[in-house]
Chains A and B, each alone.
Chain A
Amino acid sequence: MKRLSTLSGYDMLAIQMLYKGAVAGFIYPNFIIRSTEGAYWIPIAVWAAGALLSSWIFSRLLAQLNGEKLIAGIHASIGGIWTCVICLPVIFFLLTALVVMLRAYTEVITMTMLPTTPIAFLNGMLIAPAILALAGMMPIVRAARVFFLLTLLLTLVLLIVGLSDVHWITGAPWIRTNGDFLLDKRFYAASFIWMGFVITSLIGPHTRHSARRNWKMYSAALLCTLPLIMGYIYLPVMTFGRELSKRLTFPFISKMDSISHYWILFENLTAIFVSVTMFYLFIVIALKLHAIGEMVAVIMPRANKRWIHSGAFLVVYASATLLVSWRVVENITILTIGLRLYVMFVFPLFGLLALAYGRRAGKEGAL
């Protein structure tokens, strides 16, 4: 019997940590810092709990599969049209997430390292993860394993170095909150960081055993990355203060800019941070493109995989190039809140219903 190419526990851990590393460093801190006047860890913890809930629902859904892929399982249960209806928002979410991610990153590059290089050229870096996505799930996983080792080491070094010149007093309040973030759209916009489990659910075959293991590893990855996420938010706040941090577009990058030690070989740690982020980003973009490819292939079985990936590549590249400013990127993130909430909580419920319907229809057919 041929072995299913499911993700191992270590693969899941690596991918989930890479996912958070790709999105937590540059857009996320600004949203969280501006979303509340209280302690920052509370909105983070609330979303972490939300992510655990979402991933648990997904794991229930995946446990129903018997070595199938999620979308293929839903398709087999409710047919092409209904699969299309519940999956189109997911595809649209993936595309917008890719556009935002790519454009945000190239914007960071333009602002910090290559100010004169055209965005259209920088966006061309999409070609590398697109090729990886086309190669399949296991090449992505193998690349993720290597990138994980490199990025984890470098990110830890950067965070440890970032501890210099911090004033703990400026991080206060540490416990108090009035729940103001619940009414702030930026709190909900920051949901994109908690969607790692969704992406891995959409790719590869799943079994009851792999679903349970993946959920456990996702929880472990979440716990491991919480200190990193805290670092991305609290380090700039404890360096520049709350008010100044709110005005910074990229608080953590500004923090990296401010570090200067005679014993550090490099003067500009921002360049190191931006470079490391590229590794994170490539894996996440490849995963998302692969997920799009897998979904479209199920919905349109006759479509050529190369053409699907090429189409997704062109859409993402053109959209990211056509966005006129950073402000638009922020607005898209806010506008797609509903889409993300649908993907995190509603889609898995639909999936459960679809699979239950499919099983019932199967039993009736057998009778």
Chain B
Amino acid sequence: MRDILASIYRLTEQPDSVPLLGLLNEAFADSSDYRASLIGAVEGEELYLCYLDSLCSTEKLEFLLGDESGGDLSFRLSRYSGAGLMEGEFQRCEIAVCSGSAVLCKQSSSAGLILPLAENQQRGIGSPVTENVLQGPMNAFIESLDVNTALIRQQIHSSKLKMWETVIGTASHTRVALYYYADAIDPELLSDLQDRIAEIRIESIQDSAQFLRILMSRKRFHLFPLAISTERPDRVSMDLLKGKAIIMIDGSPFALSIPSVYTDFWHSPEDKYVNPFVTNFLLTLRFLAMFINLFLPALYVALTSINVDVNRLEISLAAAASREGVPYPVFVETLLMLIMIDFITEAGLRLPKTVSSTVTMVGGVVLGQAIIQANIVSNLLIIVVAATAITNFIVIDYQMGLVQRILKYFIVAGASIAGLLGIVFCFACLIIYLSCIETFGTPYLTSLWPKKNKVT
């Protein structure tokens, strides 16, 4: 290939600079996968190919290093079929090598030729793991930004779908992409996001959730998630058309949908694909589950210990009978069981699937039965805690589910102090807190129902 040869001839030695080969060898000195292979000579000077064995495609290197690559150098170089060719100094070459490219340089030249021969290691496109649906597209994002971009573009075939890209991380050099739909996005939001991203100074970044934390770092700590983290291209495309911005980072299969308000976390992508009546029913069901999850244990504490007279007499008597022989106060008893169920949930999530079912069985059934027989907690509480655990799994968004798990302890504490009023006070505080939060200029409590699409 004439271009390569011509470019190699142009690689010259700068009088005051250290040769690139030496710098690269020094930089990658203790990296066992680093190779600096001698591939021939040009004008009496040795020509080296530097690359990382682990990142560079061995198939693509075949033209230079393969067993059947005999012949003179110009013949071998003419078989190069890679896309593009760049010349660069040490820093650029170093980054290129780290990204999987190979660098061609003469022994004493101060610059090298970057051959993009990277072979990205990635899994195939699969089904979503955290956002299961029964109706709708079944593909999910993977860890490759290019593949994810393709998945989004396959959903929106329009030139109005824009993508702004930058690199973040002094060590990781992670590619970050910001997608938006030109006719729908608020320009203020877009420029604000671009400014914020440009201001980020960090060593490395691994996941989009981590990126969100960095993006929000100038704000005070927030308990609630401020952006939906999704792995579904269909959800991303819907959000783009609603005027939201999507941020994705290379290496993470999750996209951030910005801004996201509280009610967004309660909508499943599936809602768009089923009958609207069913959607409303499901939405009601989810909110009902949220209330049960937040308030049921607290109501148990309030109605059996402080506001006994609020309940019907029969229920109060039944509750008192079920607590007969239980040595602990209601608050301690409830706290014990809530923590226990959280242990079981966490164990079930972290363990391999084959073992987790056993843990759930042992924890849920055996431990539950044993704990009642040992008179440590009441029968009624087991029902309450089981209902609480089930309703927690109805929460669509994983992060919101985690927040709910924390909040129920806060409300139980309120109930144990002031009974029903304590619950109402905690709930009011929660609403007050939510009404004070803003996510990228949008109030978190914007509306109870999603706005109609801006783009039709």
Contact = CB atoms under 8 A, between A and B. Distances in A.
Count chain A CB atoms within 10 A of each CB in B312, B419, B425, B428 and give the residue with the most.
B428
Count chain A CB atoms within 10 A of each CB in B421, B425, B431, B432 and give the residue with the most.
B432
How large, as a class, is the contact surface on chain B? 20 to 34
A131 interface: yes
Interface string B417-456: 0111101110011011011100000010100100000000
Nearest to B312: A267
Contact of B420 (A139, A267, A271, A282): A271
B312 A128 contact: no
B445 A266 contact: no
B421 A143 contact: no
Given A265-B312, A267-B309, A268-B310, A132 B432 contact: yes
A147 interface: yes
B425 to A, nearest CB: 6
Nearest to A270: B310
A266 to B, nearest CB: 5
Contacts of B6: none
A138 B424 contact: no
Contacts of B435: 132, 135, 139-140, 142-143, 146
Interface in B256-271: none
A243 B173 CA distance: 82
A131 B311 CA distance: 33
Nearest to A274: B421
A241 B306 CA distance: 33
A71 B434 CA distance: 29
A188 interface: no
Given A138-B443, A278-B421, A278-B424, A271 B307 contact: yes
B435 to A, nearest CB: 4
Contact of A139 (B310, B421, B432): B432
B129 interface: no
A109 B417 CA distance: 14
A223 to B, nearest CB: 25
In terms of DSSP, what is the predominant structure of the interface of chain B? Answer: helix
Contacts, number: 76
Contacts of A275: 420-421, 423-424
B134 interface: no
Contacts of B278: none
Contact of B445 (A125, A132, A142, A268): A142
A62 to B, nearest CB: 25
A113 interface: yes
Given A114-B418, A114-B421, A278-B425, A267 B432 contact: no
A117 interface: yes
Count chain A CB atoms within 10 A of each CB in B306, B418, B423 and give the residue with the most.
B418
B313 interface: yes
A113 B420 contact: yes
Interface string B215-250: 000000000000000000000000000000000000
Interface in A248-297: 265-268, 271-272, 274-276, 278-279, 282
A131 B428 contact: no
Nearest to B307: A271
A110 to B, nearest CB: 11
Given A114-B421, A142-B445, A267-B313, A128 B307 contact: no
Interface in B306-326: 306-307, 309-313
Nearest to B313: A267
A317 to B, nearest CB: 16
Contact of A147 (B313, B431, B448): B431
Contacts of B424: 275-276, 278-279
Contacts of B418: 114, 117
Contacts of B313: 267
Nearest to B422: A114
B294 to A, nearest CB: 14
Given A113-B420, A114-B418, A142-B443, A282 B311 contact: no
A125 B432 CA distance: 13
B377 to A, nearest CB: 24
Contacts of B420: 113, 271, 275
24 contacts: A113-B307, A114-B419, A114-B421, A125-B425, A129-B432, A132-B436, A135-B435, A138-B443, A142-B443, A143-B432, A146-B445, A149-B448, A266-B311, A267-B313, A268-B309, A271-B309, A271-B420, A275-B424, A276-B424, A278-B421, A278-B424, A278-B428, A282-B428, A282-B432
Pairs A-B, 6 closest by C-beta atoms = A142-B435, A143-B435, A275-B424, A268-B310, A135-B436, A139-B435
Given A146-B431, A268-B307, A271-B309, 20 more contacts: A113-B420, A117-B418, A128-B425, A128-B432, A129-B432, A132-B436, A135-B435, A139-B432, A139-B435, A140-B435, A143-B435, A145-B445, A146-B435, A147-B428, A266-B312, A267-B309, A268-B310, A271-B310, A279-B428, A282-B428
Interface of B: 306-307, 309-313, 418-421, 423-425, 428-429, 431-432, 434-436, 443, 445, 448
